[in-house]
Amino acid sequence: MLPPLVLRAEALAAERGFARSCTREVGRLLHLLAASRGRERVAELGTGYGVGSAWIVSALRPQTPFFTAELDPELGAAASELFRDDPNVHVLVGDWRDTLPLEAPFDLLFFDAAKQEPENAELALGLLAPGGIALLDDLTPGRTGSDPVREFWLADERVAAVELLTAPSEAAILAVRL
Ligand SMILES: C[S@@+](CC[C@H](N)C(=O)[O-])C[C@H]1O[C@@H](n2cnc3c(N)ncnc32)[C@H](O)[C@@H]1O
């Protein structure tokens, strides 16, 4: 059984030909993380058409503020419309580096935009509360050579992190700010 909001977001993304939404496996992981205790303020970096947001919002306790940032105004407008009946969902149109620091810190962060740029890792870590958890998806299992995402999140002493497979062809990192 999939949350109705997720089905609506997936249909919207399909209708607009957007192929970068999170997978259902990652969505279920987001859903689990959002449902767990202590999620009082939650954010996503990169809204797309709202699929990841829908998985998160469908599991948050009532009244939990959720912020999602999207650079592309067209996508931001579509996601705003999708969540228009939920006053706890805030779709912020603009660069997450400008919009989300004003709303931080967060207990849960889905880092899904511009995560390959090393300076952004530092900024994203700064958005997390101590004990807060970040999820980064879309990693290639067994990738060789330089990988700024793994190099930062799996090595930094300020986080406890693990890489896991979400599907045979996709890996993700879960990282907690110490
Ligand atoms: C992988 S897609 C997001 C998918 C979405 N999280 C989901 O699961 O459905 C990445 C999105 O980030 C947006 N984006 C890229 N750079 C950004 C930035 N600096 N600030 C905010 N959004 C950004 C892109 O326009 C794109 O819609």
Report which ligand 1 atom has the smallest distance to the Cα of 113.
12
Indicate if ligand 1 lies below 6 Å from the C-beta of 76: no
Indicate if ligand 1 lies below 6 Å from the C-beta of 70: yes
**In the chain, % of residues over pLDDT 90:** 97
Q: What is the pLDDT of residue 53?
A: 99
- d(Cα 67, Cα 116) in Å, to the nearest integer? 21
Q: Does position 67 have pLDDT exceeding 90, yes or no?
A: yes
Across the range 66-95, mean pLDDT stands at: 98
Q: What is the pLDDT of residues 115-174, one digit of tens each?
A: 999 899 999 999 999 999 999 999 999 998 999 999 999 999 999 999 999 999 999 999
Contact 87, 57 (CB under 8 A): no
Indicate if ligand 1 lies below 6 Å from the C-beta of 21: yes
Q: Which domain holds residue 97?
A: 4-177
Q: What is the pLDDT of residue 1?
A: 85
Q: Does position 79 have pLDDT exceeding 90, yes or no?
A: yes
Structure tokens at 122: 């530092």
Across the range 6-33, mean pLDDT stands at: 98
Q: Based on the structure, what is the number of domains in the chain?
A: 1
Q: What is the pLDDT of residue 40?
A: 98
Select from 120, 48, 45, 110 the least CA-distant residue to 77.
Answer: 48
CB contact set of 110 (below 8 Å; sequence gap of 6+): 22, 30, 43, 44, 45, 52, 56, 134, 135
Report which ligand 1 atom has the smallest distance to the Cα of 50.
9
Q: What is the mean pLDDT of the chain?
A: 97
Give the number of C-alpha atoms closer than 13 A to the C-alpha of residue 170, restricted to the C-beta side. Answer: 12
Residue with the smallest CA separation from ligand 1 atom 20 is 95
The domain that holds 66 is classified in CATH as 3.40.50.150
